[in-house]
Structure 1
């Protein structure tokens, strides 16, 4: 054990809806990846504090038109949500729903790295959690506001005929968000259910726990954690609990953290009189907790592999390395916005470039196929890349973006045979947090410069996007430089970033190309640098 400070936030990146298990000396955490492919990412840790990529569960899901961004179809705000991960009798189980197909998927594997076998469970189990009971029976808990407990058949294909099927918890009607995000455990003979909800009296995400002595008995519960850790009344809730080999308990819950996304936090947990106690008893005058407990700035963790060096969850890339597994040949910190069309991309590891060829007409960035993305990092981070525009056609756009529904980008477009350096944005006019999933609006051009004024005769340009996240005051800025210069020049104006539910994910850096007039144009990217 060692006392550690500056633990939270854990990843400083968008890893929402965490579920966590331990197998031997290894912790695994699964997170929602929605419409990014490959999907259903699993992270690995030996101390619950530092995390690295372990696996993607799938490269493609159902390859629907929406998942492939065909025409104007998309699955923004949908796709893979809130997985449950379990390990039972030598096999890993991952269950999740996809909100575009309205299906429940089960993936199983003997190794965390796969291969993963795909099947479906009859029914739609929102924010589910799986439990293998001691008697060999299997249950799934799910729902929103009303929480259901359903016994599954022995093959996990659907509800067991004549099996247990009941509502076990109901939330009150006067809450902003009813109980959901179920996490279900059996510990020392008792059954524990953890939920997130938002009571009206605080307006903040809160973690609750219900306990029962049997599956047909009454579940009795209460709120167990209500603290925003000093972050604009944004509570920390929804996630799993896990024990260490020495018997210590911890929880990993996420916090809505503005445009960067939803970030996991690690919280110590103790069991007293059969009930979990999160965090520490509060003597701080500035705590916002209504429960007398708060997230401590430092606490003990157990490092199960001292000296282990973790691979970063983000990084630079010269595109000269090929990755195995379901990563489409790219390093694990890359994901495509929607399922890629591999016939339209080239990853040349000999010369070191990533190339996109356009295969459909698109009105704007969010319709562009094959956008290659990485998560942004709080409190600030930046990305740089060299763009070769020699393959552009009239009406094409290519460049470096900060991807969200209200996006911004710096890039190059071609008009009547001439190329221009542009900074563009999209502003959502719909009030509130919902935005618009069906987006057919062309971006607004804030600045346009003839490319030859910057590059001369060369078709290469260096692009940069930077982000800054500060208590919901989140911005992106864009700049450019010639390939012979290290001095970047700002273009356009700062772009305000905002987390919205139409995309439901944190802002990402992205390499993109799309055509508005004719297909077949291309853009080539080299020397990507991630600056933290």
Structure 2
């Protein structure tokens, strides 16, 4: 298996003096961060994808390596934590990562709406590990914990606290959120004692959620997201002398947002943040945002961004108590594309390429599935040096578990190429390339065999409409091996293929690059797909390699 950076020329993606946002490009929403010594660890929501809860590691806040997943055992992704038939935009929401007494803790919500239409179940649970690479514990469900977006806080006195988000018992308006807190018994991770209701947000309180608590100079700071995860998204903060409240809102809220900027700003919807203190006492914030590359959106959806933070004391002479508050991006008050590096003697190396030659015995961590895959979906051993993907009967559909696997699209402009050997055993079997946004929004570029020979076809699925064929054409001279490629540049997709190992290329379809913009919680994936279209055909496709190269816009 090739290194993820194998296709990059020397020096590509390197920046000095400054770093470029997002620090985690691609579908990495709802970031939570923790520092352990000189190391930083960051977890993101993964929703219906599996493995779940990706965790990255960094030593400088700008160069991140995927270290593992907090939910990676298929046996742990069933029953209460159901990623088997979870609905689109369901699954794992808004995790928080914390470190205490030599153990990492990730706490999060799994949202599962049963297919029979009964009410959705919001299951809050915690997993633990001594190393982020795992093994991670079996999820422990926290009973009687309503709502979403939990956080866990370990106080200096040894007590552990659970923070959650819920709809108030008597809301003042639709969409009002309420942050609540209760002590956790760290022996069994169950709630104990009295429940405390802390805050309903600052600027209207619409969808107050994603709480985190920090202790600084003896005071407790409560950070929340507010405004919904779109243009009005924001981060608000409040302070209290007692962890149980009452909490005093910062009069200068929101402390981070893009709601006051043009809808055409390079990034919008910034919010759902977490704070981290460096060893030298400086602070930084990670937050999600949406790049406005196409129609104020992008295929990548919600990504992870970084901003510096300073603390300032209120200057008002008439105030008896002058609180200190965090000031995010103090020079401009917004998330910037480029900023000075957080640490000296470092440089950022943007990961602009991913190459997999499938030579390893284990699948690269970058690969994900939409839901827990069926047993026997793929193999790296049945044909060494190849990824064998079995064309099972499943097709791409809501709650489906198709033979589809992909890696995150990280830039709007890119090149994606693959080499496939495929000899379908039935006319219903097809295999090839996929760009998938959701179960009802994708492009498949596949090969199949019919009585008249082999054919390529490009299918487009968009929300609210049946999948439609953009083009079907015969592939004369097909001998069992084909290269497929997709180029995205200037707002256009260009699909093509080669039968001579890439020496020459044949254009197939050119279409708009706006067909798979993110309108939900996740972003697009590029990958491989095979199906028997409802039939057991015994067919499979062998992929020799995939090559992805991203091209940054200014």
Give the TM interval when normalised to the shorter protein: 0.7 to 0.9
Q: Which residue of 2 aligns with 1:127?
A: 149
| 1:459-474 correspondence runs (5 A) | 459-467=480-488
How many residues are aligned here?
A: 488
| Equivalent residue for 1:184, pick from 213, 231, 234 | 213
| Equivalent residue for 2:530, pick from 497, 513, 528 | 513
The alpha carbon displacement at 1:238 in A equals 0.9
TM-score (norm 1): 0.84
Q: Which residue of 1 aligns with 2:99?
A: 87
Q: Which residue of 2 aligns with 1:303?
A: 343
> 1:397–1:147: structure 2 CA closer, same or farther, 3 Å change rule?
same
> 1:225–1:68: structure 2 CA closer, same or farther, 3 Å change rule?
closer
Q: Which residue of 2 aligns with 1:169?
A: 199
CA displacement 1:291-322 (0-9 Å, x = unmatched): xx233565444438x56997959611110013
Q: Which residue of 2 aligns with 1:290?
A: none
Question: Contact 2:33/2:40 (CA < 8 Å) preserved in 1?
Answer: yes
> 1:268–1:11: structure 2 CA closer, same or farther, 3 Å change rule?
same
Distance 2:528 2:111 in 1: 26
Deviates most, 237-246 or 382-391: 382-391
Distance 1:65 1:489 in 2: 49
> Which runs of 5 or more structure 2 residues have no equivalent in the other structure?
1-14, 113-120, 167-176, 292-297, 314-323
| Equivalent residue for 1:321, pick from 360, 373, 376 | 360
| Equivalent residue for 2:300, pick from 243, 256, 260 | 260
> 1:309–1:392: structure 2 CA closer, same or farther, 3 Å change rule?
farther
The alpha carbon displacement at 1:92 in A equals 0.7
Q: Which residue of 2 aligns with 1:494?
A: 511
TM-score (norm 2): 0.81
> 1:203–1:361: structure 2 CA closer, same or farther, 3 Å change rule?
closer
User: Displaced runs of 4+ in structure 1, greater than 6 A?
Assistant: 228-231, 307-311
The alpha carbon displacement at 1:426 in A equals 0.7
Q: Which residue of 2 aligns with 1:326?
A: none
Deviates most, 8-17 or 386-395: 386-395
Question: Contact 2:287/2:304 (CA < 8 Å) preserved in 1?
Answer: yes
| 1:121-270 correspondence runs (5 A) | 121-122=142-143, 123-144=145-166, 145-160=177-192, 163-171=193-201, 177-198=206-227, 203-221=231-249, 222-227=253-258, 232=264, 234-257=268-291, 258-270=298-310
> 1:210–1:446: structure 2 CA closer, same or farther, 3 Å change rule?
same
CA RMSD between the two structures: 3.0
Q: Which residue of 2 aligns with 1:26?
A: 39
Distance 1:280 1:188 in 2: 21
CA displacement 1:477-505 (0-9 Å, x = unmatched): 4221223333433323414234455x631
| 1:336-415 correspondence runs (5 A) | 336-348=369-381, 351-362=384-395, 367=400, 369-405=402-438, 406-415=441-450
Distance 1:297 1:363 in 2: 36
> Which runs of 5 or more structure 1 residues have no equivalent in the other structure?
283-292, 323-328, 431-440
| Equivalent residue for 1:114, pick from 111, 134, 146 | 134
The alpha carbon displacement at 1:418 in A equals 3.4
| 1:422-461 correspondence runs (5 A) | 422-429=457-464, 441=466, 443-451=467-475, 453=476, 456-461=477-482
> 1:385–1:230: structure 2 CA closer, same or farther, 3 Å change rule?
farther
CA displacement 1:65-107 (0-9 Å, x = unmatched): 99676xxx44321111111100001111011111015322211
Distance 1:168 1:360 in 2: 50
Question: Contact 2:454/2:478 (CA < 8 Å) preserved in 1?
Answer: no
Deviates most, 166-175 or 390-399: 166-175
